[in-house]
Amino acid sequence: MNPMKGLFISFEGTEGSGKSTQVSLLAGRLYSLGYTARVLREPGGTPIGEEIRHTLKHSHANDAMTPETELLLMNASRAQLVREYIRPALARGEIVICDRFYDSTTAYQGYGRGLDLNVVRQIIDLAVGETRPDLTLLLWVPPEVAAERLRSRQATLPFVRDRIEQANREFFERVARGYEKIAAAEPQRIRKIDATGDIETVRQAIWREVEKVLPPRASSNPPAHG
Ligand code: Z5A
């Protein structure tokens, strides 16, 4: 449990694994049970972080970005998010749900880009200090399922592939293998969720993990339903 009062849950997984979908379903369920849940995303989540997100993903000049710059920008965004929103929310006893957190850096900049894992760890430590998730849900789908989901999203939404999404297949295979190693090293914190099923089946699997760590509600909160 976090040294502060609240509960910190992060979602991880490859692109198209269904994180954003499940983050909003979980937040909705928690609200309906009377919890105060704060949803955040990385990179981004703060005004400064959203500017960094734009630089990382969409700015015209970012083709020249080096892996080291990418590592530092991800963690600049994170350092701001931790201090501006996450710590204050946890101190108020809220539940923080973050769509990606530092395991993404280990997976993408460490295993994916091939940066030294010790350096990656040190930079993450500087960015987050003692603020670590109590529970991390790693949504797991085979690459072909993720690709199909992204294709159908593309058919319904205006969608432009960003700089990170344009990396080659080998990069994403390294990221996926990296996530396997990250999860194996911390089985207590990181719960691997089979995310190949339909949205409701995945939601239920996530809820079973979240229920185990939920703090009791204050008695003034509305009754649980659903
Ligand atoms: N990155 C990094 O390199 N280092 C870091 O430290 C951090 C991040 C923090 C952020 O991209 C990029 O930054 C990301 C990693 C890198 N790059 N890549 N690649 P982002 O925030 O724009 O996007 P994302 O995090 O990669 O997620 P996403 O593409 O939005 O996918 P998702 O959130 O996992 O999935 P979704 O949007 O919920 O679902 C995708 C579609 O599938 C959608 O149409 C859904 O309706 C559908 N869906 C969802 N669940 C299901 C199920 N169960 N069945 C069928 N269809 C489903």
Label residue 153 by pLDDT band (50, 70, 90).
confident
Label residue 163 by pLDDT band (50, 70, 90).
confident
The pLDDT of residue 59 is 86
Does ligand 1 have an atom closer than 6 angstroms to the CB of 21? yes
Q: Report, as an integer, the average pLDDT of 188-216.
A: 97
Check: pTM over 0.85? Answer yes or no. yes
Ligand 1: centre distance to CA 70 (Å): 18
Label residue 220 by pLDDT band (50, 70, 90).
very low
Domains of the chain as residue ranges with CATH: 7-218 (3.40.50.300)
Q: Report, as an integer, the average pLDDT of 58-85.
A: 95
Three-state helix/strand/coil letters over 26-69: HHHHHHHCCCCEEEEECCCCCHHHHHHHHHHHCCHHHHHCCHHH
Contact 204, 193 (CB under 8 A): no
Contact 46, 84 (CB under 8 A): yes
Does ligand 1 have an atom closer than 6 angstroms to the CB of 20? yes
Does ligand 1 have an atom closer than 6 angstroms to the CB of 200? no
Ligand 1: centre distance to CA 207 (Å): 19
The pLDDT of residue 2 is above 90: no
Label residue 199 by pLDDT band (50, 70, 90).
very high
The DSSP H or E segment spanning 73 is helix 67-81
* Sole residue written with tokens 């194996």: 184
Q: Report, as an integer, the average pLDDT of 129-145.
A: 95
The pLDDT of residue 196 is 96
